[in-house]
Structure 1
Amino acid sequence: MAKILITQHIGEAGVQKLREAGHEVTYRDETEPMTLAELQTAVRYTEGLVCLLTDKVDTAVLDAAPHLKMIANVAVGYDNIDVGVASKRGILVSNTPDVLTETTADHAFALLLAIARRVPEADAFMRAGSYEKFEMFPPLLGLDVYGKTLGVVGMGRIGAAVARRGALGFGMKVLYTANGVKTAVEQELSAQKATLPELLRQSDFVSINVPLTPETHHLFTLETFRQMKPTACLINTARGPVIKEDDLLVALREGIIWGAALDVFEAEPKMAPGLAEYHERLVVAPHLGSATGETRQKMVETAVTNLLAGLAGQPPPNALNAEQLP
């Protein structure tokens, strides 16, 4: 039997599965993350930790958890965890890939279509009673999507799924930046690898699908935006700090790019000052990439399966650092 801490609300099914396995579970059924001090206190005797991406599991937290054996992150990204330090201390870390790939790609493409056809602006226009007559060239002219060029920055699982929607569903030419893309995927989509500057110069829509790392932090700045077409749109369903939001606001206001659709934010849940008030050709959503009931439940199930395997001394299906442990 192990002592398990679940930091935030994940639903009763996952909690029950851990308890049925005979573990002692402390379940914090809250939607607000703990403060650093609270988390440090809570993990003192913890052997298994189930956390969300809003839980910062850094060196200070790991210092406070001498009994910790495994961390199961209920997310595909794991920039909230210091995996390097965990590895040095023999702590397994896992994530939840695959189960959210298609759902997140659906959302990325929904945002792409919403910004291209100005759906939120049109909705507000209608609700304000501003639609008084049909016009051949109305004030809310949008952009064509079919047959355009889609640039995928980060052709991992989700990036490839976004590319597949563009290429097979909308006849789009796909450019991508990534390492290790499977040849079969490249051939299936007739996708072409490009440098980031090449991708930016040619793409009509740019989808960000990279993890947050020191190299991708503020990958998109005013300098980056100036390399894009003035008719291009940016879509981000990855991590907010990949974009410098103050620079994005300048790019939108000055017409350096045509529009943007954001699901994640630099200082989430807040947006940069001015960005929240800017409505023209900007679509925003509250981190809904994987937010369907079915997918979020699968993420919890995956995290629980990972944790049970790790605590039983077996390789977790989605271990991130098993080969790095001492």
Structure 2
Amino acid sequence: MKPKVIVYKKIDTTVLAYLSENCEVTYFETLDSQSLPSFYQELKNATGIIGSGLKVDAKLLDLAPQLKVISNISVGYDNLDMPEISKRNIMATNTPEVLNDSVADTIFGLLLATARRMPELNQLVKSGGWTAQVGEGLYGVDVHHKKLGIIGMGGIGSAIAKRAHFGFDMPILYHNRSRNTEAEQTFQATYYSLEELCQQADFICLMTPLTPNTVKLIGEKEFKLMKKTAIFVNGSRGATVDEDALVHALQNGEILAAGLDVFAQEPVSPDHPLLGMDNVVTLPHIGSATHETRLKMANLAAESLVIGLQGKMPQTLINQEVFAEVQ
């Protein structure tokens, strides 16, 4: 008998076909007020679930007593209550590495767009406001040869450093839980404390995972340490930044500008003060959102789910200690 699996996210038909070959699949393109009751009902007999964004906590797990594998189509897994999942000997997987380059492209593009004020100037042209030579009031700032500070030198942070070092001759400063000797050797990156990085960098990219230790990692103290000419870019999670402190820093000229792909509440409220600032460039959390990369992520997640349900250890298993327990 095939294991019963629930898909709770729209995925490519090829991925769905692969899952259907190996599992009995119940498919929800999205979870909303109409589909949630059916989803909860299906959880009773599910041995695996696959999707993204769903909060998986004790309350949900109580509805799924047969669950063996959770496959998260994302590199981040702050939506998963890992202690509770591990306590129940359920394997959880994510999709690291395959999205590194796509996210790095997005974040570096956001950095460039913010520095050179591209969205603002694009709107100027399209609205008919370009009636004369652009004056100093609309100038941006150079990116090349400026100091780039990366907070979180993991796979994505390293991919950003690669673009900055080889493409823009930017000195790389970084802060991480541990030293990244490969980044130091390959990109001549220099390790700094968080405080020193904030003081020294011209551009600051926040790329840490969301954990209890990184909630509001960047706040009033850190913004006050930054240069008045600094540009802050957040490509991690919205909750890693104190948004009120960011608003204050921008309004009071403590930093020059910000580029944001993430917000504390998503979708962000249209009346959020950050959305009314010309010196803030915003994106709707689309770091990995290309057709190619999302397909790679879904394929990896599906393969991890099937492997886990076959009693084997997925390469992307987050809680590897659980595998030993279930053997």
TM range (shorter): over 0.9
Q: Is the 8 A contact 2:275 2:282 kept in 1?
A: no
CA distance in 1, matches of 2:34, 2:176: 35
Work out whether residues 263 and 287 of structure 1, in 8 Å CA contact, stay in contact via their aligned partners in 2: yes
Q: Displacement, 1:216?
A: 0.6
Kept after mapping to 1: 8 A contact 2:228/2:256: yes
Q: Which residue of 2 aligns with 1:316?
A: 314
Aligned: 1:292 with 2:290: yes
Residue 276 of structure 1 deviates from its aligned partner by 5.0
Structure 2 unaligned blocks of 5 or more: none
Q: CA deviation at 1:196?
A: 0.4
Q: Distance in 2 between matches of 1:33 and 1:174?
A: 47
Give 1:35 shift. Answer: 8.6
> Conserved in 2, the CA contact under 8 Å of 1:245 and 1:272?
no
Distance 2:64 2:31 in 1: 23
Aligned partners of 2:6, 2:172: CA distance in 1, in Å? 43
Residue 173 of structure 2: SS of its match in structure 1? strand
Match in the other structure for 1:282: 280
For residues 262-297 of structure 1, give each alpha carbon's deviation from its aligned partner in whole angstroms, at most 9, with x where no partner exists: 101101112484335423111001111001100000
The residue that corresponds to 1:108 in the other structure is: 107
Q: Does structure 1 retain, via aligned residues, the 8 Å contact 2:8–2:31?
A: no
Note the C-alpha offset of 1:248: 1.2
Which of 136, 151, 155 lines up with 1:157 in the alignment?
155
Query: Hey, what does 1:18 align to over in structure 2?
Result: 19
Kindly provide the CA deviation profile for residues 177-234 of structure 1, in whole angstroms up to 9, marking residues without a partner as x: 1134442321111100000000000011000110001111111112221111110011
Give the letter aligned to residue 65 of structure 1. Answer: A
Q: Partner of 2:60 in structure 1?
A: 61
Normalized per residue, which structure has more helix? Answer: 2
Alignment pair present for 1:247 and 2:248: no
Q: d(CA) in 1 for partners of 2:74 and 2:5? A: 18
Question: After the TM superposition, which residues 83-102 of structure 1 pair with which residues of structure 2 at under 5 Å, given as runs?
Answer: 83-102=82-101
User: Aligned equivalents of 2:42 and 2:196: distance in 1?
Assistant: 48
In structure 1, how many angstroms separate the alpha carbons of the residues matched to 2:179 and 2:138? 38
Structure 1 CA distance for aligned equivalents of residues 35 and 55 of structure 2:
9
Q: Secondary structure at the match of 1:291?
A: coil
Q: How does 1:206-217 map to 2 (within 5 A)?
A: 206-217=204-215
User: Which runs of no fewer than 5 residues in structure 1 stay unpaired?
Assistant: none
Provide the rounded CA distance (Å) in 1 between the counterparts of 2:258 and 2:67. Answer: 42
CA distance in 2, matches of 1:232, 1:20: 52
User: 2:254: which partner in 1?
Assistant: 256
Deviation track 1:306-326 (CA, whole Å, cap 9, x = no partner) reads 001000011111001122453
- Corresponding residue SS for 1:72: strand
Deviation, 1:20, is 1.2
The 8 Å contact of residues 8 and 33 in structure 1, kept in 2 or not, is answered as no
In the aligned structure 1, how far is the partner of 2:179 from the partner of 2:304? 26
TM-score (norm 2): 0.94
1:128, 1:105 → 2: CA distance?
A: 31
Task: Work out the CA distance in 1 between the residues paired with 2:42 and 2:228.
Answer: 50
Task: Quote the residue 2:74 is aligned against.
Answer: 75
Report whether the alignment pairs 1:127 with 2:126: yes
Asked if 1:29 is matched to 2:29, the reply is yes
Q: More displaced, 229-238 or 269-278?
A: 269-278
1:50 aligned counterpart, secondary structure: strand
CA deviation string 1:150-190 (max 9, x = no partner):
00000000011111111111111111111344423211111
2:276 aligned counterpart, secondary structure: coil
1:189 to 184, 187, 190: 187
Task: Label 1:63 to 1:286 Cα distance change in 2 as closer, same or farther (>3 A).
Answer: same
Deviates more, 1:69-78 or 1:42-51: 42-51
Distance 1:90 1:273, change over 3 A: same
Q: 2:271 and 2:125 mapped to 1: Cα distance? A: 27
Count of matched residue positions in the alignment of Structure 1 and Structure 2: 323
Partner of 2:198: 200
Partner AA of 1:283 in structure 2: V
How far 1:50 sits from its partner (Å)?
Answer: 0.2
Q: Which residue matches 1:3?
A: 4
- The CA distance in 2 between the partners of 1:36 and 1:198, in whole Å, is 47
**Contact preservation (8 Å) 1:209, 1:237:** yes
In structure 2, distance between residues paired with 1:33 and 1:171 = 50
Q: Percent identity?
A: 39
SS in 2 for 1:43: helix
Say what the alpha-carbon RMSD is for the aligned residues: 1.8
